[in-house]
Each structure stands twice: as structure tokens, then as C-alpha cells.
Amino acid sequence: MKNFLAGLGTSAIIVMAIVSIGRWFDFKANCGDYLKLAGDAPTVELASAYLDSAMVFIESKHLTSGNSAYMFHTPKNDLGVWYDQLKGAKEAAASMLQRKQTDPASVTQDEQNLALIKIRDVVVDQGKKGIEVTAPDHITWFPNQWLILILWIVSIIVAAIGWFWIWEYNN
């Protein structure tokens, strides 16, 4: 029984690690990195293109409404607020690009720089480790954040009990 629990718990931890890393990487590569690129873009055209890529991912994964918090549903973790802010930045960039296309002389460099600053303010923040992409907490686990947390806890407890019994039996 102890070997079974240790093996089951350890296997569950490995599976949970693979699932968690996979979900994190999927978000990072298909959304987070594009948002960072949009924040760092030197032109409104590039920022808009990067925002487009991020928005396609967000919409395909249905990350447009809900709350990614475990308990306290604050605006910081409200996917609707986050999505609306990104959509607003995208619309502002699209509007400027439309103006630039129809009447290039009507768009000054200062206006373009201001648009880039606004986009940057929406998509990135100064964090503990430097510049970080603005996104709700636990976004990579949404909408299954509770399920994944519970599976992690159960996996760790089962593995700990199994390995403790094995250790106790051998001493």
C-alpha cells in the first residue's frame, strides 16, 4: 500500500507539473510574449500587430470574461476588465493607423509616441523582477484554477504519506 501511494502521488505530481508547465508555456508563447513585444514596439504598426496576435489567443481560449482569483474577486483578476483594456489599446492603435493611412500628414510623431506610451501602460507594468506583462493572476490555470490547486495539494499529500510510510518502514 505504501509503495502504491508513493508511486501514485509521485506520478500525479509529475503529471501536474507537466500540465502546469504546458499551460504556462502556452500562455507565455502565444499571448504574454506578444503583449511584451507590443509594449516594447517602436512603432504603432508593430504594436498593433503584436496586440492582434495576443488578442487572437485570448479570444480563442475564451479569456474574455470571468475572474481568475481563488477567493477575492478583485478587478486585478477580472478577465473582462483586462480584455477590455487590451481591446481599447488595440482600437486606439487601429484608429491611429486608419488616420495615418488616409491622411499621413494628420498624424504627428508626438501622437504616435503618445499612442505607444498608452499601449505600454496597458500591457506592461513595473514588477519586482523588472518589466512584467500585465495579466490577471492564475490566468494560465483559468477557468480551472481551483481544480488544479486541489489536484496539486492532493498529489503532494498522497506522495508525502506514501514516502513517509516507506521511510518509517525502512527505519
- Alpha-carbon span 8 to 3, nearest angstrom: 8
pLDDT for 28 equals: 96
All three cell numbers of 7: 508511486
pLDDT for 106 equals: 83
Domain that holds residue 56: 2-170
Beta bridge partners of residue 124, listed in sequence order? 133
Contact 41, 50 (CB under 8 A): yes
pLDDT for 1 equals: 76
54: CB partners within 8 A, 6+ apart: 30, 31, 32, 34, 35, 38, 86
pLDDT for 171 equals: 65
Averages of pLDDT over runs of 10 residues in the chain (171 residues) are 85 94 96 95 94 96 93 91 95 90 86 90 86 91 91 93 82 65
Residue 74 has, within 13 A of its CA and on its CB side, a CA count of 6
Considering its fold, how many domains does the chain have in total? 1
